[in-house]
Amino acid sequence: MKSYRILFMLLILLLPEKLTGQIKWTFSSEKKTDSLFEIHLTADIEKGWHLYSQWQPPEAIAEPAAIIFEKSPSVQLHGHTREMGIRETYENRELGIKSFQYSSRVDFVQLISVGRHQKTTVNGVISFMLCDDKECLPTIMQKFSLQLL
């Protein structure tokens, strides 16, 4: 019975590494004007793995990445979240499907405005799926929080 507990505890400790060890996120902001900021959500992806783009062709079966910003009266989003990186196209001719993905690195960039000289925090979550040539990991939800001055 004791060995089952140890095994269970090891699984709990190792599971997060299995789900996130293939990607490292960094979050930053760049002040453009007194009230305009550029938010950067940057993913560095381990070799052999890829993350799916937010934008997928209609026939894609890949789960697209999604950037969800927490609503705040002091924050206004401008346009869609852009993707900066080398976008690859995966094509499976047998199934007649394509998907867009990033390997190595992708930077999700969002332009936002806040009240002038107003200190605020931008919170949100990134929903994404990581795959390699053999498997796809379950959808991962990565929270982020950036304080803007």
What 3-state DSSP class applies to 132?
coil
Could you tell me the pLDDT band of residue 4, with boundaries at 50, 70 and 90?
Answer: very low
- Please say if the pLDDT value at position 80 is more than 60: yes
CATH of the domain at 65: 2.60.40.1250
SS3 content of the chain, % helix, strand, coil (to 5): 15, 55, 30
- Please say if the pLDDT value at position 31 is more than 90: yes
What average pLDDT does the segment 137-145 reach?
97
At a CB cut-off of 8 Å and minimum separation 6, what does 19 contact?
137, 138, 140
- Domain contains 87: yes
- Domain contains 36: yes
Residue 20, pLDDT score: 62
Residue 9, pLDDT score: 39
- Domain contains 93: yes
Q: How many domains does the chain have?
A: 1
- Domain contains 16: no
- Please give the radius of gyration of the chain, using alpha carbons only, rounded to the nearest integer: 18
- Domain contains 1: no
Read off the pTM: 0.84
- Domain contains 6: no
Determine the structural domain holding residue 36 and report its residue range: 22-148
- Please say if the pLDDT value at position 16 is more than 60: no
What average pLDDT does the segment 67-92 reach?
96
- Domain contains 13: no
Angle among Cα 21, 100, 125 to the nearest 5 degrees reads 50
- Please say if the pLDDT value at position 76 is more than 90: yes
- Please say if the pLDDT value at position 140 is more than 90: yes
- Domain contains 17: no
Single-letter residue type at 36 = L
Could you tell me the pLDDT band of residue 135, with boundaries at 50, 70 and 90?
Answer: very high
